[in-house]
Structure 1
């Protein structure tokens, strides 16, 4: 659990991470998206954008989870898009992405903006052989992180 000081710092970082020149544009873009598409359509759109983004960064050299975590974090670090932590659980693989600048779209975009990350991670995992396993977003206990779970085959 986060203490109040840590939460305050993360709130500040989230609000100031995106350059001022992009905040108004991204907020207006999100508002226009929401007038044209419902939440499920916006999630599909953002997932497709995420997959298109991920295709520009092939993950073919990743043989282990540590390799994958290093690969992903190198990309996110280079772009100032936060970081991801991979944790293998008994029945799923957890991907927790923290400090992504998605808040720049505005609070109303929270239900669909994270699908960008979901689409990117789904693309990379499929590229690495996850086949038809689906990645699903779960509400993280951390307000500054998105958690995705890749469920193991039954």
Structure 2
């Protein structure tokens, strides 16, 4: 029962997180994007926008995963864009981002909107020296979070 309650709360938060003044505009923008570009092109566009966004928030002082997590959470908190958790696994680094307001683009945009986060995280990781390692999005079990994985080199 608590899981249903939590899901209901997260659904509410997701729907109401974005200011009313932006909802119609962003929904219309997403619809126009979808008439002009296919989902793979939209993912590329959103990743580029994410990278451009991240460039405005240099991560240069991060030397540990804890530093990086603190930095990322400070950026997202300042903008009311949810929060992130970094989890180091045996063969990859997991970046779990919860409560990003990307749902405002609409359900159809789910296939491409998250690439904004992917582009931002890839930019920050490149800035910190992960240059040749590619970040990939993985299907999260939770509809209100996104997971990206940075595979460790062999």
Tell whether 2:143 aligns with 1:143: yes
Equivalent position of 2:116 in the other structure: 116
Q: Which runs of 5+ in 1 are unaligned?
A: none
Counterparts of 1:91 and 1:10, CA distance in 2: 30
Tell whether 2:39 aligns with 1:39: yes
CA displacement at 1:131 relative to structure 2: 1.4
1:101-149 Cα distance to aligned partner (Å, 9 max, x none): 0001011100100000000000000000001100000000111000000
Counterparts of 2:130 and 2:24, CA distance in 1: 38
Counterparts of 1:39 and 1:143, CA distance in 2: 19
CA displacement at 1:97 relative to structure 2: 0.3
SS of 2:147's partner is strand
Counterparts of 1:131 and 1:99, CA distance in 2: 27
Counterparts of 1:104 and 1:95, CA distance in 2: 22
Counterparts of 1:3 and 1:57, CA distance in 2: 35
Counterparts of 1:21 and 1:131, CA distance in 2: 38
Tell whether 2:69 aligns with 1:69: yes
Equivalent position of 2:55 in the other structure: 55
SS of 1:60's partner is coil
CA displacement at 1:14 relative to structure 2: 0.2
Aligned residues: 153
Equivalent position of 1:91 in the other structure: 91
Counterparts of 1:104 and 1:65, CA distance in 2: 30
Q: Which runs of 5+ in 2 are unaligned?
A: none
SS of 1:18's partner is coil
Q: 4+ residue runs of structure 1 moved beyond 3 angstroms?
A: none
TM-score using structure 2 length: 0.98
TM-score using structure 1 length: 0.98
Counterparts of 2:105 and 2:35, CA distance in 1: 14
